[in-house]
Chains A and B, each alone.
Chain A
Amino acid sequence: MSDVPANALAPISARRRHTDQVMRAVLLIVTLLALVPLVLVILRLLTSGLKAISWDFFTTDPSGNFLGNPGGIKSAILGTIEMIAVAALITIPIGIGVALYLVEYGKQGRFAATVRYFVDVLTGVPSIVFGLFVYVALVVGNVGGSGFAAWKGALAIALLMLPIVTRSAEVVLLLVPDGLREAALALGAPRWKVVTRVVLPTAAPGLVTGSLLAIARGAGETAPLLFTAAIVQGTSFNLNARMNSLPAQIFADVGQAQDRLVARAWGAALTLVTMILILNIVARLVARRSRST
């Protein structure tokens, strides 16, 4: 015991204990502070949004009438679902394919490192720049016979989702144990069968989770859609025509500053947030189920 410094076991001084307590309290308060905007946003969404919502709200298109009933958000909901579905169909196979290349073939090579770097670069690109790109490349020149078109909006969203899908897929694929690959190879399986029969099924829940989170992210984006799919009133199933979407509808309604339109904006916002939350919850459930098996 003689080499223990005399003060090592001495009680903590009052000043130090005081600092500790103050800092713990500060960190707690700061954490609660971080939750304040969440509570405020959700409360306001519920109080203002629920007032606007009725059966008609979901089943009628925006009327466009300057006075009177502004109509509902049917076209916006369907438009969002259509465009996000198209975007997902484009981006998820490509994103997972690129991730497969990086994990199974590229590994740590120079080309793979370059691809990885550029995917990271894409992650940081602001969504509006994607919109601008599609606008300049496809909308201005009336590519496909029409200016603003749903498929162009879907493409902008797909570009935005691509790095998210690729990065999350890469992480998940890396988690597949090499032992599984080696076992399949040792049984004489060719590479592509190892990937499609062993690697992909093993990683499937993780891939689904990553894709759903990317979809949730894409569904809330406004800026790229304003440039590409524009805003219309009617419900449309024509991908080569303008298409409404929830974020664009909200943006348009806020700009009008009329009470009845603002009420619709709150209703649409509540709908959009609910849709995104459901996607997030499903993604998490898939992730949890895969962990427990």
Chain B
Amino acid sequence: MEAGALTTRDDLAAARLAGSSRGRLADPAFKWFLTILAVLILAIIVFFFVFLINKASPAISKFGLFGFTFGAEWNVSKSVYGAWPLLVGTLITSAVALVIGVPIALGAALYITELCPARLRAPLTMLLELLAAVPSVVYGLWGVFFLIPKLRPAEQWFADTFSFLPFVGGSVAGPNYFIAGLILAIMILPIVSAISREVISTVPAELKEGALALGATRWEMIRLAVLPYSRAGIAGAIMLGLGRAVGETIAVTLVIGNAPQIGKQIFDQGYTLAAVIANEFGEAANNKLHSAALIAAGLVLFVLTLLINAIARYIVVRGNRMRDIPPPEEELTMPTTGPLIGGPVMQ
């Protein structure tokens, strides 16, 4: 190499990048610093879990893990703590949220990706994402002063008219499971819709064009090409929405009525795991068993969300693995689930 070449700007820049030999010590140091950060995050999570278990142990040793989780009575004045009414409340409100929220989220995702005019796509997506920008407490505020009073007559009419259905009938309480579920539905809508949209947009154009070329209508294309292909991803999106709904606290606390019993119908007051923690931690400060019970309730909630998220991840990963099988070149067959073109198309 010529000596003069080192004076060009590029070489100078290269020399600056390379740094001195002492600077090279910085390299392993940098690596170790980042590694320690990664270890730190693991340590925090492990500590987090162990610590909560430790602090919940007075309640768990008194009632037993099973007795606490499935105990039917939560009564602070009698010092009896069973999380079952809370757990049921959490499950009912989350179920209502899924029943209402998922079809709407999925429908919106399908409309935006497959049907709507291209120039409406971005604004519609943005509007749906705006729903996620509203904080929980604002939804709670809105629920208390808008939804509860406005929906009460409709709920009472529904309860009277359809009293033959299970869990419907009787007098409607202002704050109730249904209102909480409805608010949760609104809150999970953006996330379920966003993930579904992402999944649906990965459906290969050949599959959709193939369906259309064979004479399928738009809806038949959605039903026969888009939905089967994205089924796993949509299931994962729903589970992630469920995880959100289960852990949501403040909005639910404001609209569920906070009655620690299992309501007889979906328009009854109830309680959820998250809401009981938010409401009672203040009074529990000087009562060891009570605060241990609240922490145990937090643990039950934690484990529940862990389970839901693990299932969601499993579904998504399995779905992705199945989809990664490359489709055969010549023929248009679905790589994953069943034939692309079923009977109804060619009738």
Q: What string of 1s and 0s marks CB contacts (under 8 Å) between B250-273 and chain A?
A: 100010000000000000000000
Q: Does A151 contact B (CB under 8 A)?
A: no
Chain A window 107-138, contacts with chain B (Cβ cutoff 8 Å), 1 for yes, 0 for no: 00001101100111111111111001101110
> Could you tell me the distance between the alpha carbons of A17 and B127 in the complex, rounded to whole angstroms?
31
Chain A residues contacting B116 (CB-CB under 8 Å) are 31
Query: Chain B's nearest CB lies how many Å from the CB of A178?
Result: 17
Quick one: which of B17, B23, B130, B146 contacts A44, CB cutoff 8 A? B146
> Are B127 and A16 touching (Cβ within 8 A)?
no
User: Would you call the interface of chain A mostly helix, strand, loop, or mixed?
Assistant: helix
Q: Does B107 belong to the interface (CB within 8 Å)?
A: yes
Stretch of B79-87, B159-167, B241-249 at the chain-chain interface = B241-249
Residues of B near A114 (CB, < 8 A) are: 42
Q: Does A188 contact B (CB under 8 A)?
A: yes
**Who on chain A is nearest to B138 by CB?**
A269
The answer to whether B45 touches A121 (Cβ under 8 A) is: yes
Query: Which residue of chain A lies nearest to B25 when distances are taken between CB atoms in the complex?
Result: A190
Using A16-B217, A106-B38 as known contacts, say yes or no to A190 and B24 having CB atoms under 8 A apart. Answer: yes
B103 at the interface (CB under 8 A from A): yes
**B19→A190 contact, CB < 8 A:** yes
Q: Which residues of A contact B118 (CB under 8 A)?
A: none
Which residue of chain B has its CB nearest to the CB of A23? B219
Hey, which chain A residues are within 8 Å of B51, CB to CB? 133, 136-137
Name A125-178 residues within 8 Å CB distance of B.
125-129, 132-133, 135-137, 140, 159, 162, 166
**A235 on the B face (CB < 8 A):** no
Cα–Cα distance between A7 and B346 once the two chains are bound (Å) = 8
Asked if B1 CB lies within 8 Å of chain A CBs, one says no
Chain B residues with CB under 8 A of A189: 14, 17-19
Residues of chain A within 8 A (CB-CB) of B215 are 8-9, 12
CB distance from B42 to the nearest CB of A (A): 6
Stretch at the interface among A64-72, A203-211, A273-281: A273-281
Which residues on B sit within 8 Å (CB–CB) of A27? 107-108, 110-111, 115
Beta-carbon contact of A115 and B137 below 8 Å: no
Could you name 30 residue pairs across A and B whose Cβ atoms are closer than 8 Å? A16-B217, A19-B217, A20-B217, A24-B219, A34-B105, A40-B146, A41-B138, A94-B41, A97-B37, A100-B34, A121-B309, A124-B243, A125-B302, A126-B246, A126-B249, A126-B302, A127-B249, A133-B52, A162-B41, A190-B24, A190-B26, A192-B27, A222-B249, A251-B137, A251-B254, A269-B141, A272-B135, A272-B138, A273-B135, A273-B138
Starting from the known contacts A126-B248, A184-B17, 13 additional A-B residue pairs (CB-CB under 8 Å) come to A19-B217, A27-B110, A30-B103, A33-B104, A45-B142, A114-B42, A118-B42, A127-B247, A190-B24, A192-B30, A193-B23, A216-B133, A223-B250
Give the B-binding residues of A (Cβ under 8 A). 5, 7-9, 12-13, 16-17, 19-20, 23-24, 26-28, 30-31, 33-35, 37-38, 40-41, 44-45, 48, 94, 97-98, 100-102, 104-106, 111-112, 114-115, 118-129, 132-133, 135-137, 140, 159, 162, 166, 184, 187-193, 195, 197, 216, 219-223, 226-227, 247, 250-251, 254, 262, 265-266, 269, 272-273, 276-277, 280
